[in-house]
Chain A
Amino acid sequence: MILRRGARWLDDRLGAASVARTSLAKVFPDHWSFMLGEIALYCFVILVLTGVFLTFFFEPGTNEVVYHGAYAPLDGARVSAAYASSVRLSFDVRTGLLMRQVHHWAALVFLAAIVVHVCRIFFTGAFRRPRELNWLIGVTLLALSLFNGFSGYSLPDDLLSGVGLRIAYSIALSVPVAGSWLAFLVFGGEFPADQIIHRLFVVHILLVPGLLVALLTAHIGILVRQKHSQFPGPGRTEHNVVGSKFWPTYATRSVALFCAIVAVLLILGGLVQINPIWLYGPFEPSQVSSPAQPDWYIGWVEGALRMYPPWEFRLFGHLVPNPFVPAVLVPGVTFLLLYLWPFLEQRLSRDRDAHQLLDRPRDHPVRCAAGAGTLAFYGLLLATASNDVIARLTRVPVAALTVAGRTILLAGPPVVAAATYVVVRALRDSGAEGVLQVSFGQLAAAARATLRRRPPAAATIAGGSEDR
């Protein structure tokens, strides 16, 4: 009764009944892979909620204070306000540590969900017309999320993240022509300038989250306007969407998913220690900890920095420092190719039609090969970011591992791409149910067919691995 009266009151003022009716009846496909983006969205919600709690206690200052609190080993230590407040909110604020650890874990899962979501979109061809716009927005969301992860990780002013900031400063410094100005304007002077924590705080809690909310709204708005894509199947065509209605079935399931994610993050945040800044100690410009790894999503840049050979060259009599190629060019080209992929593929495949039905990955050996080679490249970069840890575990000298890493980084991705091409092609040609059902003979046939039809096939493979 009250519900009805409220609805009538609103409808008299907004005329919302028909819109609400179509919205509630919106059909969502039921395939599990459509939840990856939702996982990312819900992680973002959790990040905002836990993050707001943390801002109530965090002080973004580099001014020196004396820590007094429940963490005895630091009691009486002279540390920065940012570090002291981070330790205090971990030990002296009830549920503070839980909130901080859930926040950190949520960031790690958030980025992971985005990356897997991008993979799903990529391998099923969901970026094709008419969804290029949402691909561009999605890649921007990925870039902003990476940046916000790094800025948040740097806020507590602990030894590990402080060294990370110093590397970021060196990367800014390495930019040709404007590098010194860039580094001095961003950091507020020569490292360690006392401005950077405060600036990162503003960026981390206001600027980037604001952009994320705006772009997420556009991302979802476009999704609603264009409706979902779907996998082919009985009754599914290029002109319809088959699945569950938003209200009540899908909405309830989605809330259940949200609760499940919260539960997982609470288990992680409650039981699995993450970023124990009190063990790293406060940042001191002349000190460093070992081993030193960043959060996983920035590991590929770290790996590139470690693997890039000791090359520096001079341009017009000026120095192009070593970090420029691995830490500016490689990420720049990575995101450029990500942005351009839908348009590159349109050119390569000459397919400019609108698609509502998704590809099965096997339908596109070239796309699969390009994707697998790319993933291999960045996966290997991530692994090489831990070459010191691997050296300690295997007792192989780290210098030898570095040389081996460089070799594998160059040779591995093309091999993975070629192998993927052959396997996917065997799958497509044989019509087998899954990879494990492909016989050796079918694989060999696919490999032979690949080699025999040399001109077109070889060209497409090369195109695929170049697109890394």
Chain B
Amino acid sequence: MTSGGEGHDAGVPAGPRPGAPEGEAGRPVRLRAPRPERRIAAAFGLTAAAAVGFAAVYWLGGQTQLEGVLLAVAFAGLAYGLGAWSARLMPQGPFVEEHEPFGSSRGERAAFAAEFEEDLEAISRRRLLGRALALAVGALGAALLFPVRSLGPRPGRALYQTPWQGGAQAVTADGRPVRAADLDVGSVLTVFPEGQVEAGDAAALLVRVDPAALRPPPERAGWSPDGLVAHSKLCTHAGCPVGLYEQGSNLLFCPCHQSVFALLEGARPISGPAARPLPQLPIEVTSDGYVRASGDFEGPVGPGFWRRPP
């Protein structure tokens, strides 16, 4: 509590305070009253002044910091005034309240149980009706679950495929077609299949690395012409965009949970919580120099799911 009132300490028995309890008109109160009363009144006055100040600032166009401070001063005045009033000029305990025993008496419990069971007996005797009712409520309950299905589409193949397909032209976020000549060794671009810039699973990182340093597995030999290599930008851990590329080491970093992927080794995870490599996108360069995909990613992109194939 921010009030000036001290002495709400529980450990010590609150002995008779000078001038505390009951007798408001009594002498002890009058002896102590003037000073706290003046201060409390001043606090309330401050509240009123700050409130007027806030209204004025608002009226004149508003200013966040000033509004916050003025309103805070207004409430702080109230807090001090009420706190001090409560601590100095109101009946101070200790007051004592007795606990009622918990739990009803034995007789009450027995009477309740007897009455309740008697009425229950009248219901439970109708066995057939009870079962029919259970069937009805069960069927209705199950039927009422069906509308939950309206909340979303069937997952279907959505998690297995992306808008990339053979021949899809790679474009930048603003829709500009990407040419192989746009990337020098060490430069990186986030690319999308043409017309699908908004898709959540399509973003790929297109990086040009030194072709001699790249060690692709034999079955992906033609996927990275002239060191142009593309991988899904979605982290295989929790789906964040793997947004950071370190040029010298050819490492990709995910800023969400600090997974690190080695680009030259098939974007294999080398640190952090990610367990699978970033799926690769097969790339080809057309005769007029444009970059396009020669198929979809090698596997489902992004975070794992129950039916994801190994």
Contact = CB atoms under 8 A, between A and B. Distances in A.
A253 B239 CA distance: 50
A84 interface: no
B68 interface: yes
Of the four ranges (under 10, 10 to 19, 20 to 34, 35 or more), the interface on chain A belongs to 35 or more
B90 interface: yes
B148 A244 contact: no
Nearest to A176: B306
Interface in B237-261: 237-241, 243-244, 255-260
B152 A240 contact: no
Contacts of B12: 233
Nearest to B173: A286
A116 B135 CA distance: 47
Contact of B273 (A178, A231, A309): A309
B199 interface: yes
A76 interface: no
Nearest to B259: A310
A174 B308 CA distance: 11
Contacts of B3: 253, 256, 260
Contacts of A319: 304-308, 310
B302 interface: yes
Interface string B66-98: 111101111110111111011100111111111
B73 to A, nearest CB: 8
B78 to A, nearest CB: 4
Contacts of B78: 255-256, 259
Interface of A: 25-27, 29-32, 35, 94-95, 97-98, 101-102, 130, 163, 166-167, 169-171, 173-181, 183-193, 195, 226-227, 230-231, 233-235, 238-245, 248-250, 252-253, 255-260, 262-264, 266-267, 269-271, 284-292, 302, 305-312, 314, 318-323, 326, 354, 356, 387-388, 398-399, 402
Given A163-B241, A231-B11, 12 more contacts: A25-B97, A101-B64, A173-B305, A184-B154, A248-B91, A253-B83, A266-B75, A285-B199, A286-B190, A290-B255, A306-B272, A307-B273
10 contacts: A27-B97, A97-B64, A170-B237, A233-B13, A255-B78, A292-B240, A306-B257, A321-B304, A388-B258, A402-B272
Interface of B: 1-3, 5, 8-14, 58, 61-62, 64-69, 71-76, 78-83, 85-87, 90-99, 102, 148-149, 151-155, 158-159, 173, 190, 192, 198-201, 203, 233, 237-241, 243-244, 255-260, 269, 271-276, 302-308, 310
